[in-house]
Structure 1
Amino acid sequence: MDEMTRLRELRADAPVPDRAGLAPGRERLTDAIAGNGGRRTLALRLRPMLRDWRIASLGAVVAVTAAALVLTQVVGTSAPEHSAPATVAGDLDLSSPAAALNRAADYLERQEVPSEPRPDQWIYLREVDAQQAQQWEELPEEIRKKIPMAYSPERWVPYDDKAAENDESDTDYRTARESYRIAAALPEDPEALLARLREVFPTGSGPDGPPEAEDEHTFRALSVLLESYPIPPDALARIYRAMATVGGVKVTGHLIRDASGREVIAVTRKYDEGDSRREILIDPVDYSYAGNRDVVTRTHTIPGDSGAPDTVQKRGDVLIDVARTHAAVVDRKGQKP
């Protein structure tokens, strides 16, 4: 058995609570996290819940409850009690975004491009988000009863979803098939690639806030696309090369622990407004998308609303912490790889 196979088997047992966006509280929670700068990020986190559970109309009571719960779930950056074994690529270079992302692209360009999934297939996703799991458990029973699906770390998404493709209410949302084809058609030139993504995922629409500056808009568009599965490896290589050119993008000079305990690469960019940064997490072995985090960059106080106590967010606190531990194409809903 070769070393890479042995590493993969070690990772298979990583502990998995997970994610399911508790959709409500969108605007209030976003303003609390990072002023207007974080509004788009929260929209990304809530989208799976809104689309899968159809609970956008639960009402103000759910919004206020969820917002209050999330604001109490800020956690530190210490590793989980049960950490999965570290997995480090032997030739890892974290000296700069260009070094890390171009090396990842070199690896991905050598991989075989699999066939596009069939229209009747499904995408299986399993993600760790202990904060969201705890929020679900703490929601009042009467509110949980209004939600037609129970919280689960696992999701099945249809690859071909005609109804969702025709829904234009969310300018960030794309079905798995749309995202696959958008990624596959991206140009080689980094500047042209990023311009195309800004067209696909526009900025400054309605409740998602005013238009973003170009680099912030670009990084958000990259974040949206990278959450999709699958993305052809050659397309992912082009995306990584382009991401390294975005203004303000950095790479943490060491591997960090994600929500499942794995060691991963963190490609970061601070929000132009607010006191946090967005982190795109990348697996250091196969360079696949591994999740995302929002991390506080400056200790500050958020005034309480309507008599509520102030909230102190400390530098290093993790506001969002999602680890994708498994993704696969399967033949039917409910099937596990």
Structure 2
Amino acid sequence: MDELTQLRELRADAPVPDRAALAPGRALLTDAIAGRNRRTRRLRADWRIASLGAVVAITAAALFITQVVDTPAPRPSAPATVAGDLDLSSPAAALGRGADFLERQEVPPEPRADQWIYLWEVGGVPAQPTRKDGSEPEVTGTLEVPDPEPSWIPYHDEVAENDESDTDHRTARESYKIAADLPQDPEALLAELRKVFPTGSGPDGPPEAKDEHSFRALSVLLESYPIPPDALARIYRAMATVDGAEVTDHLVRDASGRQVIAVTRQHDGQDIRSEILIDPVDYSYAGRRDVVTRTYEFPSSSGRELMVYQRGDMLIDVARTKAAVVDAKGQKP
């Protein structure tokens, strides 16, 4: 995820979060809606959402964003025959079946250093908090968003890989090698990912607990492309062992309208559920969502009224509709 576009002057009629609290929403909205180039984030505590109130400025500003349109046609929803074959009774069943499928796939050659990664993602409009009395809050400030377009990321970004000051990112090539080298044993795999994507400490917040750290590290790596199918199989088997991980017992619709598998985990001590979305046809990474799990009230910045997030509101809603390796920037698969 390299630097292409930044969201500017985010402001709403809500408590203003500090830098650490603002970082998750700013980065995720930039990534999801602006479609900027991808480099995997290193996992730190300042990427976590500290509370629902902390993301108000981000989601309220997103009122100015409309659903991305004129995108490549998304994959059809899973046919009933395929969906009927799915076992969504548990993470072990759903992810185990996905791992079995991926282990049967031929591992393609690693991309060449001179190749590029083509990505197109659709971002749904995040929910906006409302006044407790039901009226719409006044939203101020501006949000600058580029025209919808795909992203091209260099597979080998030597400058980024050698930039010792940029410790928060992994290039596509680095992420590929991280995934390919992961051990078979789920416990060892998760321990390795927690090392690669360490949690924060000090002024950025307390470290995450082991299982929350593991789930977040998995979600960060899964944003990368490509990941070898055998490595993805190991990742899915490890994900099924994370305490608190669940699978929704039916297919859900992502931001592009596709039916997808949702592997979920409630954030520790928060009223937000993180969801990793998986294509039920080829078991590729399909996106992510953050969902409010309990109606939540908090004071506005003026302190004169209460704002509300409703149960079921989407704070993050991103669908990956296309990903491919191409030979040149600007080339489409």
Please, what is the CA RMSD of the aligned residues? 3.6
Shift of 1:307: 5.4
CA distances 1:169-202 after superposition (whole Å, capped 9, x unpaired): 5544211000000000000000000000000000
CA distances 1:55-112 after superposition (whole Å, capped 9, x unpaired): xxxxxxxxxxx964622658xxxxx9x9974214352100000000000000000000
Cα distance change, pair 126–198 in 1 and its aligned pair in 2 (3 A): same
Match of 1:318 in 2: 314
The question of 1:242 aligning with 2:233 is answered no
Shift of 1:334: 1.0
Cα distance change, pair 150–42 in 1 and its aligned pair in 2 (3 A): closer
Cα distance change, pair 150–203 in 1 and its aligned pair in 2 (3 A): same
Match of 1:107 in 2: 101
Match of 2:225 in 1: 229
Within 2, Cα distance between the matches of 1:336 and 1:139?
Answer: 38
- Identity, in percent, stands at 63
Cα distance change, pair 46–84 in 1 and its aligned pair in 2 (3 A): closer
Within 2, Cα distance between the matches of 1:39 and 1:191?
Answer: 32
Instruction: Identify unmatched segments of 5+ residues in structure 2.
Output: 39-54, 64-68, 129-138
The question of 1:252 aligning with 2:243 is answered no
The question of 1:94 aligning with 2:88 is answered yes
Structure 2 counterparts to residues 198-217 of structure 1, below 5 A: 198-205=194-201, 208-217=204-213
Match of 2:135 in 1: none
Match of 1:332 in 2: 328
- Number of corresponding residues: 287
Shift of 1:309: 5.2
Match of 2:42 in 1: none
The question of 1:287 aligning with 2:283 is answered yes
Return 20-29 or 259-268, whichever deviates more. 20-29
The question of 1:177 aligning with 2:173 is answered yes
Shift of 1:25: 7.6
Within 1, Cα distance between the matches of 2:280 and 2:273?
Answer: 21
SS of 2:273 mapped into structure 1: strand
Cα distance change, pair 183–118 in 1 and its aligned pair in 2 (3 A): same
The question of 1:45 aligning with 2:37 is answered no
CA distances 1:125-155 after superposition (whole Å, capped 9, x unpaired): 00011327x9xxx9977x74xxxx9343411
Return 260-269 or 87-96, whichever deviates more. 87-96
Cα distance change, pair 197–172 in 1 and its aligned pair in 2 (3 A): farther
Structure 2 counterpart of 1:70, one-letter code: T
Higher helix share: 1
Structure 2 counterpart of 1:71, one-letter code: A
Cα distance change, pair 125–72 in 1 and its aligned pair in 2 (3 A): same
Shift of 1:206: 6.3
SS of 2:170 mapped into structure 1: coil
Structure 2 counterparts to residues 141-156 of structure 1, below 5 A: 144=144, 150-156=146-152
SS of 1:104 mapped into structure 2: helix
The question of 1:126 aligning with 2:120 is answered yes
CA distances 1:200-221 after superposition (whole Å, capped 9, x unpaired): 0000156653210010010110
Cα distance change, pair 308–255 in 1 and its aligned pair in 2 (3 A): farther
